[in-house]
Each structure stands twice: as structure tokens, then as C-alpha cells.
Amino acid sequence: MLVASIFSCTRLRPSEAELSIQSDKVAKVFIKDLETDQTEELGATPFKISMKELVEKNKNAEWMMLIISAPGHAIEHVLVPSNTSTRVNLDLKLKAVEWWNDPSKLVSSQVVNSIGKMIQKIYSNIRQSQLEEALGLTEKLIAEYPHTSFLLDLKGSIQVLQGKKADAISSYERSLQISSDNPETMSILSDLKQEGGR
């Protein structure tokens, strides 16, 4: 299961902040209560909602977990801070389930499970505002898998939450050196540069 964390950095008035999700397949969008594990269906892609309305549905918890699901495709998870005053735009390319089972990918299930456990711990740290711990674990994974653009995007997202925008720019630039065709990363990097890396 692929986990994504995307934070856009365009500063807006709280009333203007919104979440927009596009996907190459029609997919349902859910919000998950991180305390009770209950989910509520919000709609289908293309999907748009104000951050104010999303926070109300989330009972004002610190983090919002969104789930994007289409039949026959891997589920996407998106973690968004409830206090964001940003516009979050996601353009997802959902992966068919068969893609994950293709032996030509030569991905060891043991390695994937190990990485998955570490990423779960990172997201747990983020939810508890333990950003230094989350960053440390992310950097450990990057040291082991230096050519994984997703990990560099995750590092950039954590650095944005820490207010380290110049460092985040560097992380996103490294990510694009590995995977130059990632529109989400390009969009976030553009927003950060427009803000001057402050």
C-alpha cells in the first residue's frame, strides 16, 4: 500500500484554504478518524473541499488522514495538518493492484514490509508533533535507499512543517533529480521557491 504525504505551501486566509484531489481513475475519498479508525466517505474524484469544512468533519483533531480508493488499485493515504492555511492540490496516478504483484519489479516483500513499518513510525511521530524524530527516521531510510524520491518528498514535507523551507527546497530538488516527472513535487517546489524559501 502506497502512503503519500503532500503539503502545498501557498499561504492563504484560512477561509480560502482548500483541498483538491484529481486522479486518473474515478476514486472515492474518505476521511479517517485516527483515534477510532472510523471512516466517512466524502465524495469522489475530482474532489474539492474547504479546509474549514474538512476540519469540522475531522472533529478538530491535529491531523487529517484522507484515503483515496478505486477498485483494483492500490489505496492512497494523504496526511494533512488540521491547522494548515495552505491550498493542497493532489493529482494522483493510481497504481493497478497487478503492478504490485509483478515479479519483474524485483521488489522483496521483506524489504517492503520493513520500509512500511518504518514509515508508519514516521507518520506516528508526525501525528504526535515529534518532528525531529520523524526527520531522523526518514534520513535513516534515505541513507539505506538514496534513490527513492518518495522518501525525499517525505523529508521535504517534514522540513516544511518545521519551518525549514530552504532545507525543504533542497530535499524536493533532490527528489526531482531522481524522478523528474512528479507533478506534485514540482508544484510544491514551485510554491516554496515563490515564497523565497523563508
Q: The C-alpha cell of 133 is what?
A: 524524530
pLDDT digits (tens, 9 = 90+) for 58-82: 765 677 788 899 988 888 877 777 7
pLDDT interval class at 139 (50, 70, 90): very high
| pLDDT above 60: residue 13 | no
Q: What is the pTM of this model?
A: 0.51
Q: The C-alpha cell of 113 is what?
A: 514490509
User: In this prediction, what percent of the chain has a pLDDT beyond 70?
Assistant: 80
| pLDDT above 60: residue 94 | yes
Taking the CA atoms of residue 17, residue 4, residue 147 and residue 144 in that order, the dihedral angle to the nearest 10 degrees is 120
Higher pLDDT, 145 or 101: 145
Distance CA 12, CA 10 (A): 6
> Comparing 16-30, 85-99, 110-124, which segment has the lowest mean pLDDT?
85-99
- Identity at 78, one-letter amino acid code: V
Domains of the chain in start order, with CATH, are 1-94 (2.60.40), 103-198 (1.25.40.10)
Distance CA 168, CA 105 (A): 30
Q: What is the mean pLDDT of residues 87-93?
A: 79
Q: Which contacts (CB < 8 Å, 24+ apart) does range 174-177 have?
A: 175/149, 175/150, 176/149
> Where on the phi/psi map is residue 116: left (φ > 0), alpha (ψ -120 to 50), or beta?
alpha
Quick one: pLDDT at residue 6?
42
